[in-house]
Amino acid sequence: MPQIKNLTVLGTGVLGSQIAYQAAFHGFAVTAYDIDDAALEKAKGRFSQLAGIYVSQKVAGAADGKAEAALDNLRLSADLGDAVAEADLVIEAVPEMMELKRDIYRRLAELAPSTTIFATNSSTLLPSDLKESTGRPDRFLAIHYANNIWVQNIAEVMGTADTDPAVFDAVVEFARNSGMEPIEIAKEKAGYVLNSLLVPFLNAAAGLVLQGISSPDMIDKTWRIATGAPTGPFQIFDVVGLTTAYNISAASPDAGSQAFAAYLKDNYIDKGKLGVSTGEGFYKY
């Protein structure tokens, strides 16, 4: 099985910065790549913010120096060739645009050592949509994280029919060694496991409100009491952010999704109620 010691993360936005910091926190040598120095300056800010969050949220070992030590395991680069020269694994977390991702894999194929494994963190694209551009489909797969990875610490690992099983196992092992709970997905599926469950659940909740059957707080209460879950669907909407929920609903051709987008816009978004991030969404925080 390939050994993974050096990680390179492409893109240092919301998820890329978390993936890089989490691996550095667990002792991996991490290079974070982004397009220019301005983006890397932002990344520095994100990394020190994450160090503070790990301490304040009491991640094991963070207060004993690990949060600070993680920063020493992180190197920043705006030169793709330099960033991947020593990489055993490259995790790509660049914007969710097919052509942009394909372009970066084509460049990576030229620049990275032939042994380097490539993994995408894409939420909505299948690894099969990208594999040809990697030039190494046997060493390519998806590793999908959830936001706030230090607490919601799953990593869904999903290959294509071409992924070498030893590569799959190496990435599962990397996930485990970087503090994640690996979720091994046996067959390629849009939405992985998490979103295959969550999206229909949230849509069903939206439908109950739109049809006037129940209210967000009653639906959440039902779900919490009856299943023992800590949160109901509208509490989840508030965490995800109502702008994201609106964008996804508005982009869907389905009539129910369109109606939910309009409902979110009129009742929440136009009133500045965007969820937990603004202090109010379906609930006040």
Give contact residues for ligand NAD (rule: CB under 6 A). 10-16, 34-35, 39, 93-96, 100, 104, 121-123, 144-145, 147
Identity of the residue, 147 or 231, whose beta carbon is nearer to ligand NAD in the bound complex: 147
For residue 143, the minimal CB distance to ligand NAD (Å) is: 10
Pick the closer one to ligand NAD by CB: 66 or 131: 131
Least CB distance to ligand NAD at residue 167 (A)? 20
| Closest to ligand NAD by CB, 100 or 197 | 100
Cβ nearer to ligand NAD, comparing 11 with 179: 11
Helices 242-251 and 255-267 cross at an angle (nearest 10°) of: 150
Report d(CA 20, CA 40) in Å as an integer: 13
Sign of CA dihedral 281, 152, 130, 134: positive
Query: Residue type for 253, please?
Result: P
CB of 214 to ligand NAD, least distance (A): 28
Closest distance to ligand NAD from the beta carbon of 104 (Å)? 5
What one-character DSSP code corresponds to residue 282?
A: S
Residue 250 carries which side chain, given as an amino acid letter?
Answer: A
Nearest-CB residue for ligand NAD: 13
Phi first, then psi: give them for residue 82, nearest 5 degrees.
-65, -40
The alpha carbon dihedral of 266, 269, 275, 280 has a sign of negative
Question: What does DSSP assign to residue 146?
Answer: P
At 51, list the tokens.
């160090």
Task: Name which of 11 and 137 has its Cβ closer to ligand NAD.
Answer: 11
User: Which residue(s) pair with 275 in the sheet?
Assistant: 280
Are residues 23 and 7 in contact, defined by beta-carbon separation less than 8 angstroms?
A: yes
Residue 17 C-beta: closest distance to ligand NAD, Å: 8
Q: Given the complex with ligand NAD, which of 101 and 136 has the nearer CB atom?
A: 101
Please answer whether residues 187 and 60 qualify as being in contact, where contact means their C-beta atoms are separated by less than 8 angstroms: no
- As measured in angstroms, the least distance from the Cβ of 112 to ligand NAD is 14
